Structure 1
Amino acid sequence: MLSPVDFIQDLLNPDLRFLPKALVIAVMSSVVCGVIGCYVVLRGMAFIGDAVAHAVFPGLAVAFVIQGNLVLGGAVAGVLTAILVAVFSQNRRIKEDSIIGVFFVAAFALGIVIISMSPGYSGSLQQFLFGSITGIPDEDLYTVAITGVVLLLVLFLFHKEFVAVTLDREMARATGIPVFVLDLLLYVMVAIAIVISIQTIGNILVLALLITPAAAARLLTDRLAVMMLLAPIIGGLSALVGMYVSWSFDLPVGGMIVLVATVVFLLAWFFAPRHGLLARRLRSRTSEERTPMPSTLASGEHVPETPVILPSPPRASEQEKTT
């Protein structure tokens, strides 16, 4: 296995300029997805992440066919799909997951049709689906950095409103908070966060970057502020370790990043100090030991746990006292 020192030397090697660019983009994408993923996990919106990840595919396909910017093409398609989902979801006769299912399958099918029209699309299709660390242009590095900062700034400005909608939509609507606008804004931010992550981790695996670090952080804390701090840390470290392992053993970088994040989630599932499986079983066992077992008589009848209060003897009347 490649030592950490050798990995650092490769990062500084001018002949491997694509490697530090890929690492920076992977870490930045993981941080942004980790923060936004907290809202996605708390609101149970994992399906919208999957939908947007597939919906950006026709934009990527169009950008590839016309030799345009892949990030811009994917962003346009993802944002358009997010807007359509937000608008159509206002009709409560059809639930949100059904609307999402309709649009993301249609968008993915459209992407396949578009990219099939281009000669030699097979290799490019694999790059879209599974990511690539060798073909990231310099301008994408600045695009991801600027976009990530803008997304985090928007989340900071509307944090209280997002939390209010997450906790109780009807109460937020009753207090005058524009729930539809916030839903639309969150969908668009999810779409953009996914787009800036696709080139490194791929279209299929990008959902894990959005959900897994936030889910692991959810197991480690009950406080939203701490969760939003832990999730990007877990995502960034997963990107760093995943990149290191993939470079050491010549493995797909996107797959390794997801696997490292999944390992962190499993560790949190078992060993989280309060919500982990071991902690829950320990509390259950402790409560059982503290619960007194009911005493039994020889005949098998239960002895009452509460003390029995015998009736007081009747007081003697005044006439009896005089006699």
Structure 2
Amino acid sequence: MTDILTWLTEPLSHGFMSRALVATLISASVCALLSCWLVQIGWSLMGDAVSHAVFPGVVFAHMIGVPFALGAFIFGAGAVGLIGALQSRTTLKSDTTIGVVFTSLFALGIAVNSVFPSQVDLNHILFGNILGVGVNDLLLVAIVGFASGAVLLLKRRDLTLYAFDPVQAHTLGIRVRGLRILLLLILALVVVITLQTVGIILVVAMLIIPGATALLVSGRMSRILPIAVVSALVSSMVGVYAAYYLNASVGGVVVLTQAALFMLALVLGPRGGLLPNMLRSRRAAQTSRVPESGVLVGVN
């Protein structure tokens, strides 16, 4: 028993590990909430776009000496607006506009950083620097994370109706355009605060995997939301501890743990799992053969 307690408390005896765990839990939770609607609406690529589009904002912020979160949010929100304008004013499909915008902005960040190299190592923006989270960083993550989560929960009914049936939502008098803008702004905020924890590359996974995992377990949003959050919290706890004892990347291990839970849901999930679907198909085939065999017996 003493060994178990020592194993659990040793990482938390270090201040940087405690801050890393709290920041990861907050970031993963709000990403999980947001992922439920992103996956349902079909905006998974939007999270990818925003996470890459903020990179030039980070580069310019370091160049002029302002907080990188400010530059990241400006470029993230700008990317969302640009994608929306292209979708509404051209005949291009949404995935095409998303791909053009985020690759162009990401390339802009790389080009500017190569011409005007910063004294600050920007690799932690790409891959995360969770162990370097300070008290002020943690405070920012907590404020933005809890505020974003609160807004999502308060508007969950309208967002759910918009995700499943935007036409009916508009018919009922819900401002669909306003909900879209709200969701995209929260996405930009969440991406900015998650950069410090897992970085640009892995934040995409945190905005997709929890929602996809929950959708394999249930089809009701009242259950999808808690399932996604719980899976994110479990992945964060397991990932942080495993990374500490394996001396591995915290963000990478957290996402790998989320991927393992997704694979488990993919196999065993009652709604969309491979095994339950196979069993249902087998039962349906057996049921359809019973009347046929009965008729044959009667004829004989």
Q: Is the partner of 2:201 in helix, strand or coil? A: coil
Q: CA RMSD in A?
A: 2.3
Q: Distance in 2 between matches of 1:38 and 1:119?
A: 38
Q: In the TM superposition, what is the alpha-carbon distance from 1:307 to its structure 2 partner? A: 6.9
1:206 aligns with 2:203: yes
Asked if the contact 2:57–2:75 (Cα under 8 Å) also holds between the matched residues in 1, the reply is yes
1:156 pairs with one of 141, 153, 157 = 153
Deviations along 1:279-301, one digit per CA (max 9) or x if unpaired, are 11112222223322745xxxxxx
Deviations along 1:223-253, one digit per CA (max 9) or x if unpaired, are 1011111111111211111111111111111
Q: In the TM superposition, what is the alpha-carbon distance from 1:152 to its structure 2 partner? A: 1.7
Q: Distance in 1 between matches of 2:230 and 2:60?
A: 34
Residue in 1 that maps onto 2:27: 29
Cα distance, 1:45–1:4 mapped onto 2, change above 3 Å: farther
1:224 pairs with one of 221, 246, 253 = 221
Cα distance, 1:127–1:55 mapped onto 2, change above 3 Å: same
**Which structure 2 residues correspond to residues 128-207 of structure 1 after superposition, within 5 A?**
128-207=125-204
Q: In the TM superposition, what is the alpha-carbon distance from 1:3 to its structure 2 partner? A: 6.1
Q: Distance in 2 between matches of 1:148 and 1:270?
A: 32
Residue in 2 that maps onto 1:43: 41
Q: In the TM superposition, what is the alpha-carbon distance from 1:127 to its structure 2 partner? A: 1.3
1:262 pairs with one of 259, 263, 269 = 259
Asked if the contact 1:205–1:254 (Cα under 8 Å) also holds between the matched residues in 2, the reply is yes
**Which structure 2 residues correspond to residues 116-131 of structure 1 after superposition, within 5 A?**
116-119=114-117, 124-131=121-128
Q: Distance in 2 between matches of 1:138 and 1:65?
A: 24
Deviations along 1:27-59, one digit per CA (max 9) or x if unpaired, are 100000000110001111101010001011111
Residue in 2 that maps onto 1:66: 64
Letter in 2 for 1:93: T
Q: In the TM superposition, what is the alpha-carbon distance from 1:8 to its structure 2 partner? A: 1.8
Q: Distance in 1 between matches of 2:164 and 2:211?
A: 17
Letter in 2 for 1:114: V
Residue in 2 that maps onto 1:10: 11
Letter in 1 for 2:142: A
Cα distance, 1:171–1:244 mapped onto 2, change above 3 Å: same
Asked if the contact 1:86–1:183 (Cα under 8 Å) also holds between the matched residues in 2, the reply is no
Structure ranking higher in helix proportion? 2
Q: Distance in 1 between matches of 2:117 and 2:91?
A: 43
Q: Which runs of 5+ in 1 are unaligned?
A: 296-302, 309-323
1:272 pairs with one of 269, 282, 286 = 269
Letter in 2 for 1:99: T
**Which structure 2 residues correspond to residues 228-267 of structure 1 after superposition, within 5 A?**
228-267=225-264
Q: Distance in 2 between matches of 1:147 and 1:179?
A: 24
Q: Distance in 1 between matches of 2:199 and 2:5?
A: 25
Aligned pair count reads 296
Asked if the contact 2:160–2:221 (Cα under 8 Å) also holds between the matched residues in 1, the reply is no
TM-score (norm 2): 0.90
Asked if the contact 2:126–2:199 (Cα under 8 Å) also holds between the matched residues in 1, the reply is yes
Q: Distance in 1 between matches of 2:25 and 2:66?
A: 25
Q: Distance in 1 between matches of 2:118 and 2:244?
A: 27
Asked if the contact 1:86–1:180 (Cα under 8 Å) also holds between the matched residues in 2, the reply is no
